Structure formats: C-alpha cells, structure tokens
A and B are shown apart, each in its own frame.
Chain A
C-alpha cells in the first residue's frame, strides 16, 4: 500500500504514540469506564486549519474595510469553530465504555471484539473505535439513546486468548474540524479455538456408527428432560423462569437428544505431528461429533471432560483445546 510507505504526518505520529504514553501514565481502567475529560486529547484536523485560515482572512478583510457586519460574520464563524471543538470533545468525555463477552472464533477467522458504549446525554455522538492491529483500522459507531455496540475485526493466527490491553476511541463529529481521541486501557479478549484440521484422523473410528446402538439420554437441545441447578455460562434462554417464580432458585431446563455413540478423544492417542496439528485434529473431531449429535469427551493429559454433547459442552472442550499448555493466559475468560 502506498500510504504505508509514505511518511506519517506529525499529528498521526503523535496519535500513534499516545497508547504507549497512556499506558505509562495510567493504571488499567475500571469496567465500565467513564472516559475522563482529562484524558481526551484534541487537535485540529486539516479542514479545521483551513477553516481557521479562512476566518483569519475574513478578519483581515473586516479590519481593512472596518465593516461591522463583516466582523460579525467573522466572529460567528469563530464561534462555530469553538463550539465544534467543545462538542467534539464532549463526544468522548463522560462516555461510558465496557468490553463485552466476545464469541470465540477458530484460529484464522476474524475475531469480533465488541464494546458497549453509552452516554448520559440524550443526543447521540458519533465515535470510532480503533486499534493499530484491527482490520480496517477503525469502526464507526453512532451511539444510540440506549447505548450501542461497536466492534472491531481482528485477524487471528494462533489459538489461545487474543487480547489487546487498550483501544482508542476517536471522533471528528461534528464539523470535522477537530480530531479528539482517548486511549481506553481496558483489555479486550476473544478466545481463539485451534483451527480445525481439514480431515479428521481415522483413529477414533468416527465414521463407524456400529459401536453402540443403545440410546442414552444426553444433554442436548431438542427434548425437555428436566431441571438442574443454574451454572455459570448457562444460556439465559434455558433458565426456567416459571419454576424460579415458585421455587426461588434458578434452575436451568435440560434438554436431551437421542445419542447413538460415545467417543473419548485423547490427545495422547494422536501420534502424528506436533502439538498444534494434534489440537487441530481434535478440534475437527469435536466438531464432527457435535454435528453427528454424538456424545464425546476429551482427555488432555490431566484435564478430562466427561462425555456429553451440546453447545456448552462443545465450548468447554474447544476452550480446553484453545488454552492447552498456554500458561501465560489464565483460563478465566473475559470477566465482567
């Protein structure tokens, strides 16, 4: 791209340096974080400068002709500039931001990092969120009355947690005369599963249907099977609100499906290739099993996930794969 070869302008370099600077000066921000006016920086844009020059020319003209009306027009435009500065700044200051739970993606896919923004003012400012690594570099967001969600796409290349420790909020609205920005030191995370390999290894005999024909009830999606205690990560859609009303206890509806086969996927059973390839293969196996509505478990050395099926189970298994032997990241997930 020719634009990347071109030397960056001074303001651009200034803006690009600001995350580093902010990180040095400030502790990570609370969640949710109310953008402090003291951390909003503002500089005039190119149009802002041109506008200022035009107003200055008008001022000289008014002085030369000693024309009161021309003075008035000049000062009206000056005031427009000042108000634009104030409004641009107020788009960001006192804005509330909090990261959202981001849906996990497979390595190689684009991660979607989402932030919820809201503002106490009723009129909705326009802001952009950005990060140097984000694709398309910035996402445009018009903040609605009830808050809105801004999202950045980011390329993933390896499993584990994709994490950025800050992001930038910026705005030129209204008037495009000033550029205001702030660095929010909130981590944005997205779990990245291993990339599923193209073909599943034969070793677990996934193609055979004959091993077991006895049906067993396993948690699934289709048929209501009973209630169990609410656990974290249960979908709110499955919470039994009706029984909650009578029992004062959050229960979750369980569903069952007819499952024909149980497999236990063990990483040690895969001999070929390095760790990443084996994890990819396991990933593919899990996906296939889920698709065929089989029961499956996972064994990664000490970590054993009992056979089951369903979305939650799949997520648990894939998360285990994603974070396997990555010590640098905790397994907490994105905490809210």
Chain B
C-alpha cells in the first residue's frame, strides 16, 4: 500500500524523471521514446485518480515488453545508448510501483544515470546547462523525499545552501580530482549513428552534397604564425584507386612513422596549431600540408595522411606542426610500385580523355607544361563551377564531363584532372579534405565547416616530388582565396545569418562560448590538469599533487568555515527570549542603570522600576513575559516573544 508521504511525492519524482528523460527524444528511436513518455503521462493521470493503477501481472508484462522492444531495436542491452534506453524503460515501469520512499530514491538515482547516458552521446553546451538544471531538480526531489513533512520553504533554503557550498566544491573537485586517462573497459561504438563528413571514397556529387551542410567539421587555433587563407588545405583521405566513376583510398598504405618519431627540430617556417575535431567515426585526422610533427598516437601514411588506430568517436583535441613549403618526395625512395598505383586507369573508359592526354604528351616536353595545359583548358574552354551540375553519363563520366557538360564542382575537376595526368603518364592522386576556414576574432579559432569540404589533386614531378595542383583554382579562384559563397555567386547556400554583421557577431560569440566550454569542461584532462598544477607552482606534478591540493584545500575550507562559525557563536546570545532580555538590559544600561550580571530578573526589574517609575508598567510586563516564557512549559512562548518585542520597542 502506498504511504501518504509517498503519494504526495509522486508528481515530484515523475517531474524529475520526465525532465531527465526529455533529451533522449533526440537520440532514442521515436517509438521507444514515445512509449516511455506515454507511460509516464499515463502514470500521472493515474495519480490524479482518473484511472486505476494496473495490477501486478500487467506491470511485469510491460517490463518484459520493454526489454523485448529495446533488444529488437538495438540488438543489445549494453552500451550507452541501449543501456540508457533500457534504464529509462525500467524506471518508467517502476513509477507504477512507488509505494515507499525508498522506491522514490531509487527512481531519482536512476534519473542520474539516465542523464549520464545522454551526456555520453552528446555533450554540447546546452546539454551541459540542461544537465545542471536536471541534476538540480533531482537533488531537490531527493531533499524532498528525505523530509516529506518539511515545508517547501525550508527545503528551498536548504537547497540554496547546497548550491552555495556545493558549487565551489564540485568545481574544485572537477579541477583537482586526479584524472586517469583512457578507457577502463573500452568504449563501445554507438550503433547506427550517422555522422556527416568526408569518407574514404569519392564519387561525383559526394562533396557537393557535403557542402550543403552547415555542420562543424573541426576548429583550429594557430599558435604563432597563421598561414594565408589560400594555403589552408586540410588534408584528409588521399584517394588512389579509380574505377571509372568512384575514387577510393589505397588500403595497404604503408605507415612511415608515428608521433613518437617526432623530432624536436624547430623550423622557423613551421606552423603550429591545435585542432578540436568533431567526431566523424573515421580514423584520420586533418592536418595542413604537410605534417611535420604528428599529433599524439597518430601515424603518418606514405601519402601523408595522418591517422589514428581508433576511430574518432568523440570530440578530440590534437596539436600538430606543418610546413607549407616543403614537398613530399618520400615516395621516391620507396620503389616504383607505389607510383604505379598512381598511374593506373581502368580499361575501356575515358577514351577521348586518353587521346587528349597522349596528344599533350607528344606536344609538351615537361610534366609542368602538361599540367599547365590542363589547367588552361579548364580556364579557357568555358568550364563552369556549380553545385548542381548536369548528371553525367555513368558509363563514361570523365569524357562526358570534359567534352560535354563542362560544368561541375571541385570533385569533378580534381577527378578529371587526375585522369588526364595519369593518361599522360604523370603519377597523380586525388586528395580530399577541407579548404579554408572562418576565423572567429573573439577567441582566435578558425571554424572549418562541412561546407568547406574540397577535393584537389597532387601530381608527382620527377625532380621535386609530390606537388599540389588545385584545378578548381583555374575555374573559380575565389573558391580558394575567399570562400565557397563568393565562388558561387548565383547559388544560395542558405546561410540565413550570412552577411548580417550583428548576427555574425552573435554567432561568433556563441562559437567562442562553445570553444571555452570545450576547453574547460569537456576536454579538461590529465594534461590540462598538469598544466594548471604547474602554474600553481608544482614542479613535475603527478596525481599526488592534486591529492595534496585537494586535501589541503578541503581542510583549509573546513577550518575557515569553522572559524566563521566560532566567531559567530562566541558573541551570540543563545535564545530569542534571552536575546530580547539582553537587549532590554542594554537599553537600561544606556539609560543609566548599572547592570549586575548576577542579578536575577525580578530584582533587576524592581531596581529598574525605582529608577524609571514612569515606565514601570512596561518593565514589569516585560519581565513577567520573560519569566513565564523561560520557566514555564505551559507558556505560549511565541505570543510572549511578540509582546516582549512590542514592549521593547515602546520602551
């Protein structure tokens, strides 16, 4: 049977649970979320006694159905997402059984885990704020459960204390608690989560789809020198294999070195930067051409692609160093086989293209001249740059593009250019990645969005090695020097805020806030903790330093608070009645009556009446009230205090 206190708490607990569960609407499949919210609302209706509570067998059946639904949806019950869904289901069913206060506490504890399961999936800034509010609500409901008879006013007071004392404490813990890096039992990949971004293959239309997305790809902050806009080629997957339509990466790309081989040699032309990469569920990291010092745990492949062994499934920060002026001539020493891959073309395709390439090969002596010829052709022959080109003939896409439609996007140009070069006997490859970035002057971070996705080409000169050639530059140089929007003047990319300076500034502040949040909340790891310790004067800090600071800080805090209490209690008069009495004595003393502390109230009042005969009535009333409240249990203390205050005032 449900106790009365438990009954009154039902709306509170339901509200806390519902509030904690709401963000799951964004990650859970709609049918599961709708089921849960429906059940919670139904529970509330039952609380209002419109409907009767379900019998036990129905609850157990519902619990079983929920497990089956979760299993059928996720094919697992572990992992953050499925586990969170299962927990939410179980908690929802449990709300139909809130008989004791213990049931309520169990539900609130579950709510904390439900919130956490959402955090693991998404930790944007609004989620941080939401979690803060949700946990505050949950803590308040816990407070309410612990003292169901106490009125809300007192509880709010106590909650305020929790806030005042708890917030600095939790921040101190957050900063100082030793962080153990890395996963303890492995992070399961969230099933069925699609992310936008560049993939390791490219077919026509891939990048032009991508640039329609305004989503963030990564953020970059340069430390020291910043390169020109036109040099911001962020290298992603390098594509070697072409099947006539689709470009794909070369699987057995040899790794040539890893971050442990970084040398400490500093070149004055080096560009140092830090990247905050949004999760894209791929292995590679984006670096400027060409990476010199690699990010931690990263490997350099022979085509200068930088990768990690684990997929990037959460916001990741890394720092790297690049040198923009060097060439990649490494492959020269690795035998011919690799270069042969970059010469291969599928048979039976691009016949006209091959003919053109052979023609050029006879006509020009050097590789550079052939490259120039191709670029000039793009520039001269009325090629146009557009996001929505005419559909290509899939059986012979390169010929169709070069000799027929003559309109396309960077991917078309890069692809056609590489095919031309290969046909002309020059090893070449397609590089995908991002170009440019938009600087936020508030915090110095460049934002690179999906709409900055780009594809370009690299050709291999016998003398100098791999060199970047961007055929898009021949058609639409604005794309490289400015941005996509200026390269596509008549096509609206749909930037609502674009061009509006106030919105732009607001947007920039928002991004700056986001970055600060990332810096100080999401990415506060062992390294940053160490940096902070060093700033505080610890040399070579390890976890012990944080423990010292933590313990020392807590002790100091406790001592400080105790000192405040002690000082307060030293000159505090104990009881309200006593307080009034002392006040009364003070007034008498001020008016010239000598006060002897050993004197009892009756004797005192006699003397006072002698001295102030005109006020004797008030003095006596006051003393009577005082004696009565202090020594008789039957007295109405509160009423007496009121009258005493009145007397005191009139006195």
Q: Which residues of A contact B (CB under 8 A)?
A: 32, 34, 47, 50-51, 54, 57-58, 60-73, 75-80, 82-84, 86-87, 94, 96, 100-103, 114, 118, 120, 123-124, 126, 140, 142, 144-147, 149, 172-177, 236, 239, 241, 244-245, 248-250, 336
Contact = CB atoms under 8 A, between A and B. Distances in A.
Contact of A250 (B113, B115, B602): B602
* Residue among B80, B565, B574, B632 with max Cβ neighbours from chain A (10 Å): B574
Nearest to A60: B184
B641 A146 contact: yes
Given A67-B120, A96-B575, A145-B576, A79 B173 contact: yes
A245 B617 contact: yes
Interface stretch (B154-162, B223-231, B259-267, B291-299): B154-162
A336 B109 contact: no
B183 A102 contact: no
Given A63-B184, A101-B633, A123 B109 contact: no
A69 B127 contact: yes
B185 interface: yes
Contacts of A173: 146-147, 150
A42 to B, nearest CB: 14
Contact of B135 (A63, A73, A100, A102): A73
Contacts of A120: 568-569, 572, 574
Contacts, number: 189
25 contacts: A58-B112, A58-B116, A60-B184, A63-B184, A64-B184, A64-B187, A65-B80, A68-B123, A70-B120, A70-B123, A73-B119, A76-B132, A77-B135, A83-B161, A83-B165, A87-B161, A87-B162, A101-B631, A101-B632, A146-B576, A146-B577, A146-B637, A172-B146, A175-B143, A239-B624
Contacts of B105: 47, 50, 176
Given A63-B180, A69-B522, A80 B187 contact: no
A79 B574 contact: no
Given A100-B633, A241-B624, A248-B606, A174 B146 contact: yes
B79 to A, nearest CB: 11
A51 B184 CA distance: 22
B442 interface: no
A171 B167 CA distance: 24
Given A69-B119, A76-B166, A32 B574 contact: yes
Given A34-B574, A64-B187, A248-B609, 5 more contacts: A64-B185, A70-B119, A83-B169, A146-B638, A244-B620
B280 to A, nearest CB: 17
Contacts of B112: 54, 58, 73, 77
A172 B80 CA distance: 34
B633 A114 contact: yes
A245 B616 contact: yes
B142 interface: yes
B131 interface: yes
B116 A75 contact: no
Contacts of B184: 60, 63-64
B638 A61 contact: no
B630 to A, nearest CB: 8
* Residue among B109, B119, B576 with max Cβ neighbours from chain A (10 Å): B119
For the complex of A and B, the 9 pairs showing the least CB-CB separation, nearest first, are A176-B146, A79-B170, A75-B173, A79-B169, A79-B166, A68-B522, A69-B123, A75-B170, A64-B184
A149 B142 CA distance: 28
A94 B521 contact: no
B180 A94 contact: no
Contacts of B167: 79
A220 to B, nearest CB: 20
Contact of B628 (A77, A96, A145, A236): A236
Interface in B612-631: 616-617, 620-621, 624, 627-628, 631
B469 interface: no
Nearest to A53: B109
Contacts of A118: 574-576
A96 B161 CA distance: 22
B397 to A, nearest CB: 44
B576 A126 contact: no
B183 A67 contact: no
B637 A64 contact: no
B166 A61 contact: no
A278 to B, nearest CB: 32
B68 to A, nearest CB: 26
B165 A236 contact: no
Contact of B145 (A54, A145, A147, A176): A176
A65 B624 contact: no
* Residue among A80, A87, A94, A147 with max Cβ neighbours from chain B (10 Å): A80
B637 A147 contact: yes
Given A47-B105, A94-B569, A142-B150, A66 B637 contact: no
A336 to B, nearest CB: 6
B115 A73 contact: yes
Given A78-B170, A100-B633, A123-B158, A147 B576 contact: yes
A70 B116 contact: yes
B177 A69 contact: no
B525 interface: yes
Interface in B183-231: 183-187
B27 to A, nearest CB: 15
A249 to B, nearest CB: 8
A82 B177 CA distance: 15
B524 interface: yes
Interface in B117-171: 119-120, 123, 127-128, 131-132, 135, 139, 142-143, 145-147, 149-150, 154-155, 157-158, 161-162, 165-167, 169-171
A83 B160 CA distance: 11
B154 A123 contact: yes
